[in-house]
Structure 1
Amino acid sequence: MIDIDEFTRGARPAIRSLIEVYAGGEAAAAFDVDPRSAVDALDEYVMRLPIRELETDDWITLHSDLIAFVTVVLQEIYGATCRARLDDALPTGWEFVIDVVGEDGQQRTIVPWTLVLEHLRPVPQRIPRLLEAVERAAGHGAG
């Protein structure tokens, strides 16, 4: 079973590293202030991928990177918390979810794997649209 705390601790450094590679140190510094600033760098990352040549491991890496981004944004901007939700229907018996309170005071539970998967189709999908979807799902921003 994945260690949720370990994943969330590693999410920020993983995304920051990607930003440094695709957009340089200045963009990484901006990410340190506001993780949403990574949208352009992550969009560049996705747009450069040879989508038709990706193998299963590549898709898993891409999804994991984007889940890490979603996790960082939701935790740092909206005060979300991460947890494992039990689900006997899944092979693992659980799924990674993020709980966040919306602007209306209502708690929402987001399944980042599903959200990322839905917003990468058609491939490649643009990361600004993913961020908008994340904020809508969290009950913040783009109504």
Structure 2
Amino acid sequence: MNKYATEEVALHNNLQDLWIIIHGNVYDLTLFLPEHPGGEEVLLALAGQDGTECFESIGHSDEAKQLREKFKIGEITNQRSAAQSQITSAVQSETTSADAITADINKSTVNGEDPQKGNISLQVFTYVAIIMYAVIFYYYYHFM
């Protein structure tokens, strides 16, 4: 059985090359992507990552678990080779601004902050301002 480091699996994270880790096993789901009953988006969101928690939370059938085994290509190992370390460094150095935004949102969520708190405050301010304007407008034209 082939052995892969999580950093190596992380490189396979797109429509043309999609690997996912489930229970320490590595699955190449590239060909299964169009057939996935939950849609491609679900698998793409987990591409190159450990999808164990998501897979279990959905409650897949025994048939789905058997089908999954057809796509198994190896297992995860914690050993990292020098080549894998270089690959990991290259991947990490190419972080996009979208990744940075996602990290900020995840960080806010982890710290117990609501990432949409600013949007809610703006909405509340807008509603209060509209109500105040309506009251002023009513009194101005009603009593003048």
Normalising by structure 1, we get a TM-score of 0.27
Of structures 1 and 2, the one with the larger relative CO (CA 8 A, separation 6+) is 2
Normalising by structure 2, we get a TM-score of 0.27
